[in-house]
Amino acid sequence: MGERGEVYISSNPEDAKVVQGFKLEHMNMRDADSGQVLWESPPDWEGKFFLQELEAHVPREILACKAISREVRFSSVEKMDDFKLLQKVYFQGSCFEEVSRDCWAWKSSHNSSSGFSSSALSCPIPPTAGRAR
């Protein structure tokens, strides 16, 4: 489930109802120190998040950042409890960071989840602080 290149949606009818009302609206990556947006999801990604793997090409400058922040904005028609947001970051075909955050969404709400991670290609995977609102 959720491996690289795999788009996964549960076959449970209740889950399908939640997925139908769930929308990933926007993603971005910023220099955590300056707040400068270094990458953001293109408009043509809207509506494609559950249909195909989407590949992001971030600028080389992101590797010079001491820390980066990632924000994912989403909305939900249905209330979602025990919702996990899993982000896997790949570089040259290898996963070098995997971040899981516990989130929630009220019925008919707009939400965002953001977190910070250490700079580029540091191993082992650094601890990530995140929040859902």
Task: Copy the structure tokens of residue 110.
Answer: 């707009």
Of 67-71, 90-94, 99-103, give the lowest mean pLDDT range: 99-103
The predicted structure's pLDDT at residue 68: 86
**pLDDT band at residue 40 under the 50/70/90 scheme:** very high
Structure confidence by residue, pLDDT tens digits, 45-55: 877 776 777 78
Q: How far apart are CA 55 and CA 41, in angstroms?
A: 10
Query: What confidence category does residue 118 fall into, taking pLDDT thresholds of 50, 70 and 90?
Result: very low
Residue 126: is its pLDDT beyond 50? no
Q: Give the pLDDT of residue 131.
A: 33
Write down the domain spans for the chain.
13-132
Residue 34 has a pLDDT of 94
Q: What is the pLDDT, as a whole number, of residue 35? A: 92
CATH topology of domain 13-132: Coagulation Factor XIII; Chain A, domain 1 (2.70.50)
In tens, the pLDDT along 96-110 reads: 778 776 665 555 555
Residues of the chain with pLDDT > 70, as a percent, come to 68
